[in-house]
């Protein structure tokens, strides 16, 4: 099977779906890059991280739509287009920017179907990059998937590897509900086996990236490779760690998580989103209320501290959950 980076896998998914369905359009600032100005390359960027490179050259300006820096109009236009027959993929660039356009997602797109009595369909994908690790500081490093997950009407995807990213994005584009697709910056360069053809991965089905007996780690996005590394290290010591990657936080594979904890009796949740009211807290509440009797130890949460994200690499490194903290949490769970 060919190897691809997650960046290439995402590009692949968009290209295949745009070939398959003329209603799929890509909308965002610099998804092409190079429009206007004094000349230079005609497709200068292909997304600021190069994720959409080549798509404008292939599909042209009618379907790869470069916009001004105007997030409310990007997401609002995409929502209005989705409600009326297109399947837009709107790019937010950095997920942090949801703050300047949240109304269009939260009050509009997410609510059309319910608010209009089941008569609306809003096949919208809002994608963007998220996550710390690049010294991009407080306004370009957040992972706000917990905020989206709290909204009834949105679906939320947090892929952790290239194979999943491609399959989940194709599912997202074909889905008839609004989907927020969160791409972790630290993972764009991650390489993995990705088939050439289109394939889908259903939402709400967790992936067990490691199987184990003693403790369950539920981890998301960039935390999954870290949890896997901890599992591999501790296995050599005789601690058998199961790693569960939910892949989507809405819908959430509650059954898959509960089943794993029932099997291991211990739970560590690693979540980059927030120190309060994050996905870790949501999953902990799920297991505490529905899986309490299978627990042999208190649930351990590994999250960032309740602070904005610092700029200095020295501080950012301390902010983002790392393997040492995940390992310590597993040992605490095992010791109880």
Size of the site for other proteins (CB under 8 A): 48
Whichever of 63 and 210 has its CB closer to other proteins, that residue is 63
Instruction: Choose, by CB under 8 A, the member of 251, 265, 322, 328 that binds other proteins.
Output: 251
Instruction: Choose, by CB under 8 A, the member of 37, 68, 236, 314 that binds other proteins.
Output: 68
Distance in angstroms between the alpha carbons of the first and the last residue of the chain: 43
Assess 37 for contact with other proteins (CB under 8 A): no
Sheet holding 207-210, edge to edge: 207-210, 241-245, 215-219, 267-270, 300-302
Instruction: Choose, by CB under 8 A, the member of 21, 34, 44, 120 that binds other proteins.
Output: 120
**C-beta of 299: minimal distance to other proteins in Å?**
26
Instruction: Choose, by CB under 8 A, the member of 21, 44, 121, 263 that binds other proteins.
Output: 121
Assess 78 for contact with other proteins (CB under 8 A): yes
**C-beta of 220: minimal distance to other proteins in Å?**
19
Assess 39 for contact with other proteins (CB under 8 A): no
Catalytic residue among 140, 184, 293, 306: 140
Instruction: Choose, by CB under 8 A, the member of 53, 155, 266, 281 that binds other proteins.
Output: 155
Instruction: Choose, by CB under 8 A, the member of 15, 63, 127, 247 that binds other proteins.
Output: 63
Whichever of 21 and 323 has its CB closer to other proteins, that residue is 21
Whichever of 15 and 155 has its CB closer to other proteins, that residue is 155
Stretch of residues binding other proteins (CB under 8 A), selected from 7-15, 80-88, 207-215, 296-304: 80-88
- Count CB-CB contacts under 10 A for residue 193: 12
Instruction: Choose, by CB under 8 A, the member of 177, 242, 245, 271 that binds other proteins.
Output: 177
Stretch of residues binding other proteins (CB under 8 A), selected from 6-14, 113-121, 216-224, 276-284: 113-121
Assess 286 for contact with other proteins (CB under 8 A): no
8 Å CB contact between 234 and 210: no
Identify whether 293 is a catalytic site residue. no
8 Å CB contact between 246 and 274: no
Assess 32 for contact with other proteins (CB under 8 A): no
Instruction: Choose, by CB under 8 A, the member of 49, 65, 241, 284 that binds other proteins.
Output: 65
- CA dist 259 and 254 (Å) reads 8
**C-beta of 77: minimal distance to other proteins in Å?**
4
Instruction: Choose, by CB under 8 A, the member of 42, 60, 84, 276 that binds other proteins.
Output: 84
Whichever of 44 and 73 has its CB closer to other proteins, that residue is 73
8 Å CB contact between 79 and 34: no
Assess 247 for contact with other proteins (CB under 8 A): no
* Cis, peptide link before residue 60, omega less than 30° from 0: no
The residues carrying an active-site annotation are: 140
Residues that bind other proteins (CB under 8 A): 23, 25, 62-63, 65, 67-68, 70-86, 88, 101, 103-104, 107-108, 112-121, 152-153, 155, 175-177, 204, 251
């Amino acid at each position: 099977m060919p190897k691809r980076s997650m960046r290439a896998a995402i590009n692949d998914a968009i290209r295949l779906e745009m070939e398959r369905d003329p209603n799929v359009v890509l909308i965002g600032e610099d998804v092409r890059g190079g429009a206007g100005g004094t000349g230079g390359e005609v497709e200068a960027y292909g997304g600021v991280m190069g994720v959409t490179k080549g798509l404008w050259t292939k599909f042209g300006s009618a379907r790869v739509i470069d916009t001004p820096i105007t997030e409310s109009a990007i997401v609002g236009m995409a929502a209005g287009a989705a409600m009326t027959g297109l399947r837009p993929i709107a790019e937010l660039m950095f997920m942090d920017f949801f703050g300047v356009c949240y109304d269009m997602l939260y009050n509009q797109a997410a609510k059309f179907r319910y608010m209009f009595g089941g008569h609306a369909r809003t096949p919208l994908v809002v994608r963007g990059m998220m996550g710390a690790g690049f010294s991009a500081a407080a306004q370009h490093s957040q992972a706000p998937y917990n905020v989206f997950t709290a909204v009834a009407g949105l679906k939320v995807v947090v892929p952790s590897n290239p194979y999943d990213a491609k399959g989940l994005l194709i599912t997202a584009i074909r889905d008839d509900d609004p989907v927020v697709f969160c791409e972790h910056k630290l993972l764009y360069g991650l390489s993995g086996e990705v088939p050439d053809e289109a394939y889908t991965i259903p939402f709400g089905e967790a992936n067990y990236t490691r199987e184990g007996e003693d403790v369950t780690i539920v981890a998301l996005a960039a935390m999954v490779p870290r949890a896997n590394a901890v599992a591999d290290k501790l296995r050599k010591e005789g601690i058998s760690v199961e790693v569960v990657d939910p892949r989507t936080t809405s819908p959430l594979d509650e059954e898959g998580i509960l089943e794993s904890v029932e099997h291991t009796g211990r739970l560590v949740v690693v979540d980059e989103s927030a120190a309060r009211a994050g996905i870790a807290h949501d999953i902990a509440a799920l297991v505490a209320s529905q899986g309490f009797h299978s627990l042999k130890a208190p649930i351990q949460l590994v999250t960032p501290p309740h602070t904005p994200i610092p700029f200095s690499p020295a501080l950012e490194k301390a902010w983002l959950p790392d393997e040492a903290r995940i390992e310590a949490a597993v040992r605490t769970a095992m010791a109880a």
